Structure 1
Amino acid sequence: MARTIVLDFDGVIHSYTSKWQGVDVIPDLPVEGIKEAIIDIRKHYKVVVVSTRCFQEGGLEAVKAWLDRHNIGVDDVLSHKPPAIVYVDDRALTFDGDAKGLLHKIKTFRTWQEK
Protein backbone atom coordinates (compact mmCIF):
# COMPACT_ATOMS: atom_id res chain seq x y z
CA MET A 1 0.00 0.00 0.00
CA ALA A 2 1.26 3.47 -0.91
CA ARG A 3 1.88 5.87 1.92
CA THR A 4 -1.21 8.06 1.67
CA ILE A 5 -2.15 11.43 3.12
CA VAL A 6 -5.84 12.36 2.90
CA LEU A 7 -6.84 16.01 2.64
CA ASP A 8 -10.41 17.21 3.09
CA PHE A 9 -11.48 19.56 0.30
CA ASP A 10 -13.63 22.32 1.85
CA GLY A 11 -11.74 24.29 4.47
CA VAL A 12 -8.37 22.65 3.77
CA ILE A 13 -7.86 23.13 0.02
CA HIS A 14 -10.88 25.25 -0.99
CA SER A 15 -10.98 28.17 1.46
CA TYR A 16 -14.76 27.75 1.89
CA THR A 17 -15.23 31.36 2.96
CA SER A 18 -18.61 31.57 1.19
CA LYS A 19 -19.80 28.41 2.98
CA TRP A 20 -22.12 25.92 1.25
CA GLN A 21 -23.50 27.18 -2.06
CA GLY A 22 -24.40 23.84 -3.63
CA VAL A 23 -22.71 20.59 -4.54
CA ASP A 24 -21.20 21.95 -7.75
CA VAL A 25 -20.83 25.60 -6.71
CA ILE A 26 -17.29 26.12 -5.44
CA PRO A 27 -16.71 29.89 -5.57
CA ASP A 28 -13.73 30.52 -3.31
CA LEU A 29 -9.99 30.56 -3.86
CA PRO A 30 -7.55 27.97 -2.52
CA VAL A 31 -6.33 28.30 1.06
CA GLU A 32 -3.19 30.42 0.99
CA GLY A 33 -0.11 28.25 0.47
CA ILE A 34 -2.00 24.95 0.04
CA LYS A 35 -0.90 24.41 -3.56
CA GLU A 36 2.77 24.65 -2.56
CA ALA A 37 2.17 22.46 0.50
CA ILE A 38 0.59 19.76 -1.65
CA ILE A 39 3.52 19.89 -4.07
CA ASP A 40 5.89 19.32 -1.14
CA ILE A 41 3.75 16.55 0.39
CA ARG A 42 3.54 14.71 -2.93
CA LYS A 43 7.32 14.41 -2.98
CA HIS A 44 6.94 11.93 -0.10
CA TYR A 45 3.36 10.66 -0.12
CA LYS A 46 0.38 9.92 -2.29
CA VAL A 47 -2.19 12.72 -1.80
CA VAL A 48 -5.88 11.89 -1.90
CA VAL A 49 -8.63 14.50 -1.60
CA VAL A 50 -11.96 13.57 -0.04
CA SER A 51 -15.17 15.54 0.13
CA THR A 52 -18.75 14.94 1.15
CA ARG A 53 -19.57 16.81 -2.07
CA CYS A 54 -18.49 13.68 -3.93
CA PHE A 55 -21.38 11.66 -2.48
CA GLN A 56 -23.82 13.74 -4.51
CA GLU A 57 -24.31 13.73 -8.25
CA GLY A 58 -21.91 16.16 -9.92
CA GLY A 59 -19.81 16.68 -6.82
CA LEU A 60 -16.83 14.55 -7.80
CA GLU A 61 -16.64 16.23 -11.19
CA ALA A 62 -16.98 19.70 -9.61
CA VAL A 63 -14.11 19.10 -7.17
CA LYS A 64 -11.86 17.73 -9.92
CA ALA A 65 -12.70 20.69 -12.18
CA TRP A 66 -11.95 23.18 -9.37
CA LEU A 67 -8.59 21.52 -8.68
CA ASP A 68 -7.76 21.62 -12.40
CA ARG A 69 -8.85 25.27 -12.68
CA HIS A 70 -6.47 26.19 -9.86
CA ASN A 71 -3.70 23.91 -11.20
CA ILE A 72 -3.58 21.83 -8.00
CA GLY A 73 -2.30 18.34 -8.68
CA VAL A 74 -3.35 15.42 -6.48
CA ASP A 75 -3.26 11.67 -6.92
CA ASP A 76 -6.97 11.00 -6.52
CA VAL A 77 -10.31 12.48 -5.48
CA LEU A 78 -12.71 10.20 -3.61
CA SER A 79 -16.03 10.25 -1.79
CA HIS A 80 -14.72 8.05 1.02
CA LYS A 81 -11.69 8.07 3.32
CA PRO A 82 -9.20 5.42 2.23
CA PRO A 83 -6.62 3.98 4.64
CA ALA A 84 -4.00 6.67 5.30
CA ILE A 85 -1.10 7.71 7.49
CA VAL A 86 -2.95 10.89 8.45
CA TYR A 87 -6.18 12.74 7.65
CA VAL A 88 -6.11 16.54 7.39
CA ASP A 89 -9.54 18.04 8.03
CA ASP A 90 -10.63 21.46 9.27
CA ARG A 91 -13.53 19.87 11.16
CA ALA A 92 -11.65 17.17 13.04
CA LEU A 93 -10.49 16.62 16.58
CA THR A 94 -7.51 14.51 17.47
CA PHE A 95 -8.52 11.96 20.10
CA ASP A 96 -5.97 12.17 22.90
CA GLY A 97 -7.17 9.20 24.94
CA ASP A 98 -9.19 11.36 27.33
CA ALA A 99 -12.75 10.16 26.80
CA LYS A 100 -14.00 12.19 29.76
CA GLY A 101 -12.98 15.45 28.10
CA LEU A 102 -14.35 14.58 24.67
CA LEU A 103 -17.81 16.14 25.07
CA HIS A 104 -16.26 19.44 26.14
CA LYS A 105 -13.92 19.40 23.12
CA ILE A 106 -16.88 18.75 20.82
CA LYS A 107 -18.98 21.54 22.34
CA THR A 108 -16.17 24.10 22.17
CA PHE A 109 -14.79 23.11 18.75
CA ARG A 110 -14.27 25.89 16.19
CA THR A 111 -12.82 25.69 12.68
CA TRP A 112 -9.80 27.83 11.78
CA GLN A 113 -12.16 30.22 9.97
CA GLU A 114 -14.20 30.74 13.15
CA LYS A 115 -11.27 31.44 15.48
Structure 2
Amino acid sequence: MAKTVVLDFDGVIHSYTSGWQGIDSIPDPPVDGIKEAIGNIRKHYKVVVVSTRCFQEGGLEAVREWLDKHDIFVDEVLAYKPPAIVYVDDRALTFDGDAKGLLHKIKTFRTWQNK
Protein backbone atom coordinates (compact mmCIF):
# COMPACT_ATOMS: atom_id res chain seq x y z
CA MET A 1 0.00 0.00 0.00
CA ALA A 2 1.23 3.50 -0.86
CA LYS A 3 2.20 5.82 1.94
CA THR A 4 -0.34 8.54 2.67
CA VAL A 5 -0.08 12.32 2.43
CA VAL A 6 -2.92 14.26 4.07
CA LEU A 7 -3.93 17.69 2.76
CA ASP A 8 -6.26 20.04 4.60
CA PHE A 9 -9.00 21.38 2.34
CA ASP A 10 -9.56 25.05 3.27
CA GLY A 11 -6.43 27.12 2.77
CA VAL A 12 -4.44 24.37 1.08
CA ILE A 13 -6.67 23.24 -1.80
CA HIS A 14 -9.60 25.71 -1.62
CA SER A 15 -7.96 29.15 -1.50
CA TYR A 16 -10.33 30.23 1.29
CA THR A 17 -9.80 33.91 0.50
CA SER A 18 -13.43 34.75 1.38
CA GLY A 19 -13.15 33.08 4.77
CA TRP A 20 -15.85 30.92 6.31
CA GLN A 21 -19.15 31.08 4.41
CA GLY A 22 -20.82 27.95 5.82
CA ILE A 23 -20.52 24.18 5.69
CA ASP A 24 -21.63 23.79 2.09
CA SER A 25 -20.66 27.22 0.75
CA ILE A 26 -17.23 26.97 -0.87
CA PRO A 27 -16.97 30.09 -3.05
CA ASP A 28 -13.29 30.48 -3.82
CA PRO A 29 -11.09 28.97 -6.54
CA PRO A 30 -8.31 26.46 -5.94
CA VAL A 31 -4.92 27.62 -4.71
CA ASP A 32 -2.74 28.39 -7.73
CA GLY A 33 -0.97 25.24 -8.91
CA ILE A 34 -2.56 22.88 -6.36
CA LYS A 35 -4.30 20.70 -8.96
CA GLU A 36 -0.98 19.99 -10.68
CA ALA A 37 0.82 19.54 -7.36
CA ILE A 38 -1.74 16.96 -6.22
CA GLY A 39 -1.40 15.15 -9.54
CA ASN A 40 2.35 14.92 -9.04
CA ILE A 41 2.04 13.84 -5.40
CA ARG A 42 -0.40 11.08 -6.38
CA LYS A 43 2.28 9.54 -8.61
CA HIS A 44 4.14 8.63 -5.40
CA TYR A 45 1.61 8.69 -2.53
CA LYS A 46 -2.00 8.15 -1.64
CA VAL A 47 -3.59 11.61 -1.23
CA VAL A 48 -6.27 12.10 1.41
CA VAL A 49 -8.13 15.37 1.92
CA VAL A 50 -9.46 16.24 5.36
CA SER A 51 -11.68 19.06 6.52
CA THR A 52 -13.53 20.05 9.64
CA ARG A 53 -16.42 20.75 7.23
CA CYS A 54 -16.86 17.00 6.96
CA PHE A 55 -17.87 16.65 10.61
CA GLN A 56 -21.20 18.33 9.89
CA GLU A 57 -24.04 17.22 7.67
CA GLY A 58 -23.48 18.16 4.04
CA GLY A 59 -19.81 18.99 4.48
CA LEU A 60 -18.32 15.82 3.04
CA GLU A 61 -20.56 16.05 -0.01
CA ALA A 62 -19.76 19.76 -0.49
CA VAL A 63 -16.00 19.12 -0.47
CA ARG A 64 -16.33 16.22 -2.92
CA GLU A 65 -18.54 18.28 -5.24
CA TRP A 66 -16.10 21.22 -5.16
CA LEU A 67 -13.16 18.91 -5.98
CA ASP A 68 -15.16 17.37 -8.85
CA LYS A 69 -16.13 20.83 -10.16
CA HIS A 70 -12.46 21.80 -10.34
CA ASP A 71 -11.29 18.41 -11.72
CA ILE A 72 -9.07 17.82 -8.70
CA PHE A 73 -8.59 14.11 -8.16
CA VAL A 74 -7.68 12.68 -4.75
CA ASP A 75 -7.84 9.19 -3.31
CA GLU A 76 -10.13 9.90 -0.39
CA VAL A 77 -11.98 12.68 1.48
CA LEU A 78 -12.35 12.17 5.24
CA ALA A 79 -13.59 13.93 8.37
CA TYR A 80 -10.57 12.78 10.38
CA LYS A 81 -6.80 12.70 9.95
CA PRO A 82 -5.64 9.15 9.20
CA PRO A 83 -2.06 8.01 9.83
CA ALA A 84 0.23 9.66 7.28
CA ILE A 85 3.86 10.42 6.53
CA VAL A 86 3.05 14.15 6.42
CA TYR A 87 0.14 16.53 6.99
CA VAL A 88 -0.15 19.70 4.92
CA ASP A 89 -2.21 22.35 6.68
CA ASP A 90 -2.24 26.14 6.41
CA ARG A 91 -2.99 26.43 10.14
CA ALA A 92 -0.21 24.23 11.45
CA LEU A 93 3.16 24.82 13.04
CA THR A 94 6.04 22.43 12.67
CA PHE A 95 7.32 21.59 16.13
CA ASP A 96 11.08 22.12 16.09
CA GLY A 97 11.84 20.74 19.56
CA ASP A 98 11.88 24.21 21.17
CA ALA A 99 9.03 24.03 23.67
CA LYS A 100 10.06 27.35 25.23
CA GLY A 101 9.43 29.22 21.98
CA LEU A 102 6.11 27.56 21.23
CA LEU A 103 3.84 30.14 22.89
CA HIS A 104 5.49 32.94 20.89
CA LYS A 105 5.02 30.99 17.65
CA ILE A 106 1.35 30.45 18.48
CA LYS A 107 0.76 34.12 19.33
CA THR A 108 2.46 35.39 16.15
CA PHE A 109 1.10 32.75 13.77
CA ARG A 110 -0.51 33.96 10.52
CA THR A 111 -1.90 31.93 7.60
CA TRP A 112 -0.46 32.56 4.15
CA GLN A 113 -3.58 34.58 3.26
CA ASN A 114 -2.93 36.98 6.19
CA LYS A 115 0.82 37.57 5.94
- So what's the TM-score if we normalise by structure 2? 0.99
Deviations 1:41-97 (A, max 9, x none): 000000000000000000000000000000000000000000000000000000000
Give the Cα separation in 1 of the matches to 2:82 and 2:108: 28
Structure 2: stretches of 5+ with no match in the other structure: none
Give the Cα separation in 2 of the matches to 1:100 and 1:77: 36
Partner of residue 38, structure 2: 38
How many percent identity over aligned positions? 84
Structure 1 segment 97-112 matched on structure 2, within 5 A: 97-112=97-112
Partner of residue 9, structure 2: 9
Give the Cα separation in 1 of the matches to 2:69 and 2:2: 27
Structure 1: stretches of 5+ with no match in the other structure: none
Partner of residue 26, structure 2: 26
RMSD: 0.6
Give the Cα separation in 2 of the matches to 1:82 and 1:56: 18
Give the Cα separation in 2 of the matches to 1:113 and 1:18: 10
- So what's the TM-score if we normalise by structure 1? 0.99
Partner of residue 96, structure 2: 96
Give the Cα separation in 1 of the matches to 2:88 and 2:5: 8
